[in-house]
Structure 1
Amino acid sequence: MTATDLELAYDLALANRILVRHGVLDAFGHVSARAASAPDHFLLSRNKAPALVEPADILLHGADGSAGQGERLYLERFLHAEIYRARPDVMAIVHSHSPAVIPFGIVEVDLEPVIHTAGFLAEGVSRFDTRAEFGETDLLIRNSKMGASLAGSLGASSVALMRGHGSVAVGASVQHATYRAIYTEMNARVLSTALALGSVATLSSAEGLAADVTNSGQIERLWAVWGADVRFAEYYDTLSPVAASEGFPAGMPS
């Protein structure tokens, strides 16, 4: 990996822990980034629970989802590979099973933006159902064909709901995709609460777009707060990503 890819590896490890802290990831789910050294490749952890991912776990994956020989890889790496192939603008992807979002993938109620921090949802949330094309499966994205179908359903949206499974959120950076995944979950919780109370006043498309432009300029502030909130940051912030390229520490403090 190049020095820039090593910095991305650091960000990906941090993103995994931030997303766990915010209830978006648990023992499952994953975060990837398009490789700086080879735009048709991407960086993704070896198969590991997100809360335990360290920079040294991040592997360079080929355009077909392949990685180092003998490595145990995430089964659903194909969803990352095919979204990157279909969307040159996407630089990072979060796949999660966040609990407040899943219900919107199994009912006919749209996941519309109701909080300004989720204004990006105003562009529309896509839906993907494995059963429509692949019949009765375990719902996992197990190969390139399924990944390409998901990417096609995502289209130009920033979020796609996966029936009975979870969702994907994409962004222009690791920080951006992490932001979108967290606020998609938060918006889903608020919307569910509001729907139980009565009719809901959602953001208009114009409001959502305007809010998204404003909030996208504040992601560095959020990232600083979120990073400080996990012990991972306290451990690794003593090292710059470039210094860490000499060899990431082997273990985490207990």
Structure 2
Amino acid sequence: MVNITALLSTLITSNHILHYHNVLDAMGHVSVRNPNTNTTFFIALQLGPAVLSGREDIGEYNIADGSPLTGTVGGYAERYIHSEILKRYPDVNAVVHSHAEDVLPYTVLNVDVEPVYHMAGFLGGTVPNFDIEDTYFEDDPRDLLVNNPRLGAALAQTFGVNETQPTGPAHTTVLQRGHGFVTIAQTVEEVTDFAYYAASNARVQTNALLLKAAMGGGGNVKCLTQQERKDAANMNRWIAFKPWRQWVKEVERSGMYINELGTPPLDS
């Protein structure tokens, strides 16, 4: 049995880390599968990530349909992003949804997100862009929110199927047109790493494109090769705890955040 207090402490700190590094605004969220039931997941209630501080700030919901367990009142309308991904992919245990402004331009331009340095190899060969307009029913409000199981299932399907591991996704990250991005992983620490470096890679790619334009269009933006992406992705997964330890210390020493459940585990 997994220590749920330690798991929720990790979830709280992930929210703090991603807020501290401008990956999550007041609306972003992180979730984690309950490993002791495998049928529910934890996510903050309707709170900004910076003010999440204790057990009472976290809801528990059924993966099957996103419905709250007894005792959970309210929560994010977009929790169906999380429930539908966790339902579709048994190998995924943690999800981040972000509106990071570094990534947003790539959701509305015909410019692919590409891994341009080694810490972003997990982005893989392609990063799909989910356009919710393609999924709307005629009477749906066009607010770009994934706020029901049908829309959540359509977004989850965009992650595809891993050819060598049918219970896993083909992609770790999916853009959302005019909205943000979602990234998924096996642990909270790993998904925090992926979300941070997805935004970081977008900044590097944007700067490279701007520099290219300033040079009159000369020079190439050389992205990682397919083999480099594969090998760097393997590296990304085993090294995730190195930045995690540093990020935990940063948010604790910043004085900006409260984690009533204590310092999360610093080792895998």
TM over 0.5: yes
* Deviation (angstroms), 1:220: 1.4
Q: Number of residues paired by the alignment?
A: 241
Distance 1:45 1:130, change over 3 A: same
Q: Comparing 107-116 with 229-238, which one deviates more in the overlay?
A: 229-238
Moved more, 51-60 or 229-238: 229-238
Indicate the larger mover: 218-227 or 230-239: 230-239
Task: Give yes or no for contact 1:158–1:169 (8 Å, CA) kept in 2.
Answer: yes
Which deviations, in whole Å up to 9, do the C-alpha atoms of 1:188-232 show, x marking residues without a partner? 000011012222000011101111212322211111100000138
- Alignment of structure 1 residues 58-77 onto 2, 5 Å: 58-63=58-63, 64-67=65-68, 68-69=70-71, 71-77=73-79
Task: Tell me which residue corresponds to 2:12.
Answer: 13
Q: Does 1:147 align with 2:152?
A: yes
Aligned residue among 155, 177, 183 for 1:163 = 177
What code does the residue aligned with 2:171 have?
S
Among residues 200, 218, 235, which one is paired with 2:221 in the alignment? 200
Which residue matches 1:229?
Answer: 250
Q: What TM-score do the two structures reach when normalised by structure 1?
A: 0.89
Alignment of 1:40-189 (within 5 A): 40-56=39-55, 57-63=57-63, 64-67=65-68, 68-69=70-71, 71-134=73-136, 137-155=142-160, 156-189=170-203
Q: Match of 1:42, SS? A: strand
Separation of aligned partners in 2, 1:239 and 1:137: 41
Q: Distance in 1 between matches of 2:42 and 2:261?
A: 23
Aligned residues with identical type, % of pairs:
37
User: Which range moved further: 133-142 or 178-187?
Assistant: 133-142
Secondary structure (helix, strand or coil) at the match of 1:145 reads helix
CA–CA separation in structure 2 for the residues paired with 1:76 and 1:32: 11
What secondary structure does 1:154 align onto?
coil
Write the deviation string for residues 66-106 of structure 1: whole angstroms up to 9, x where unpaired. 22456121010011000001111111000000001111111
Contact 2:60 2:72 in 1 (8 A): no
- Aligned position for 1:248: none
- Whole-Å Cα distance in 1 between the matches of residues 125 and 33 of structure 2? 23
Segments of structure 2 that go 5 or more residues without pairing to the other structure are 161-169, 213-219
Q: 1:191 aligns with which of 192, 198, 205?
A: 205
Cα distance between partner residues in 1 of 2:50 and 2:249: 15
Could you say what secondary structure the match of 2:25 adopts?
coil
Q: 1:123, 1:18 → 2: CA distance? A: 27
Q: 1:43 to 1:91 in 2, by over 3 A?
A: same
Secondary structure at the counterpart of residue 224 of structure 2? coil
Pair 95,179 (structure 1): closer, same or farther in 2 beyond 3 Å: same
**Aligned-CA RMSD value:** 2.1
Matched residue type, 2:22: G
| Greater displacement, 165-174 / 56-65 | 56-65
RCO higher in structure (CA 8 A, sep ≥6): 2
Shift of 1:185: 0.2
Q: Per the alignment, in what secondary structure is the counterpart of residue 65 of structure 1?
A: coil
Query: In structure 1, the residue corresponding to 2:38 is in which secondary structure?
Result: coil
Query: Partner residue of 1:35?
Result: 34
Q: Structure 2 vs 1, CA of residues 233 and 174 (structure 1 numbering), >3 Å: closer, same or farther?
A: farther
